[in-house]
Amino acid sequence: MEEQNINPEQSMQIIQSMINRAQSNVSDNGFYFIFWGWLVFLCSVIFYITLKMEMQYGWLVWSLMPLGGIFTGIYSYYEHRKYNPDAQKKVKTYAEVYLGYLWIAFGISLCTILFMMGKLGESTYPLVINLYAIGTFVSGGILRFKPLIIGGAFSFAIAIVSFFTPFENQVLLVALSLLVSYIIPGHLLRNKFKNQ
Amino acid sequence: MKELDPLLHSQLRLGIISLLISVKEAEFTHLKGETNATAGNLSIQLQKLKEAGYIEIEKTFKDNYPQTTCKITKVGIKAFENYVKDLQQYIKPKK
């Protein structure tokens, strides 16, 4: 471009419009929220039923978790690898960086809690719910998406209630937490993404 | 009044820096789309910003396609901040 003469007002406009463009690029298709939301929701409900029916091997349903992990790992690999000249995946926003750190921290904490289940006893599920709340609450803040923040706030409350709930019914509260802070906001996020 | 950094006081270069300051990194094609510049011109301006140490350019291959990723440096952020500060003098002159 020839050295165009621009005046200070034009400079301001350029800065503003570019920063706005970069910010509107912050988007998420909600896949992970929906996938994990439904998977863990269904496992919790199934586990609850097996507990009520006093079936012995109900806990086996949780073996679906590592499978889910493998599936999302493969999904994210292809999502990043996919070369599509029209896709807007040509920019890495700070939001993505922060979300990455958040979910790594989430994963580590979840592993610690589940590993320490023996020591934590009946506090295990309430702590897991509390962790779910952190995940969506902070994600909502980063993505500036209210339903996730509200969903997270509900889960914080559910976590407190679950501390006072008998173990068997805690599983149902886990399911409720996933419904309000992952499944519903996840689908809303997906709708927003599609309409963009 | 302070003179505005001539390196940033250009429509395209200012656009590039403003975009890069708001993201972690961006590919050449993304910058091209957002600034509506031609590839040739964009390359020249990116090179100038790189020579001044304002940005880093990394060339890689992704699935056999060449890929150029640009990232703002600390020097670039400082220069941008100074530019904005200087700009304010022009917009709201001190009495």
| pLDDT one-digit tens code per residue, A40-53 | 999 999 999 998 88
Separation CA A154–CA B12 (nearest Å):
46
Q: What is the DSSP string of A155-182?
A: HHHHHHHHHTS-HHHHHHHHHHHHIIII
Contacts of A150 (CB under 8 A, 6+ apart): A140, A185
H or E segment and range at residue A134: helix A124-143
pLDDT (average), residues A43-65: 88
Neighboring chain B residues of A93 at a CB cutoff of 8 Å = 22-24
Q: Which pLDDT value is given to residue A84?
A: 44
Q: Which pLDDT value is given to residue A87?
A: 47
Contact between B19 and B26 under an 8 Å Cβ cutoff? The reply is yes
Separation CA A177–CA A159 (nearest Å):
8
Neighboring chain B residues of A15 at a CB cutoff of 8 Å = 14, 18, 84
Contact between A172 and A42 under an 8 Å Cβ cutoff? The reply is no
SS3 for chain B, per residue? CCCCCCCCCCHHHHHHHHHHHHEEEEEHHHHHHHHCCCHHHHHHHHHHHHHCCCEEEEEEEECCEEEEEEEECHHHHHHHHHHHHHHHHHHCCCC
Contact check, Cβ <8 Å, B26/A12: no
Contacts of B3 (CB under 8 A, 6+ apart): B86
With H, G, I as helix, E, B as strand and everything else as coil, classify residue A152: helix
Q: Which pLDDT value is given to residue B93?
A: 62
Task: Indicate if the pLDDT at residue A77 is higher than 50.
Answer: yes
Contact check, Cβ <8 Å, A94/B84: no
Comparing A83-92, A116-125, A145-154, B31-40, the range with the smallest average pLDDT is A83-92
Total length of chain B: 95
B81 to chain A, any CB pair closer than 8 A? The answer is no
Of B9, B21, B26, the CB nearest to A90: B26
Q: Which pLDDT value is given to residue B60?
A: 86
Of A1, A90, A94, the CB nearest to B41: A1
Beta bridge partners of B70: B26, B57
Contact map slice: B 7-36 vs A, CB within 8 A = 9-12, 14-15, 18-19, 21-27, 29-30, 33-34
**Percent of chain B residues topping a pLDDT of 90:** 60
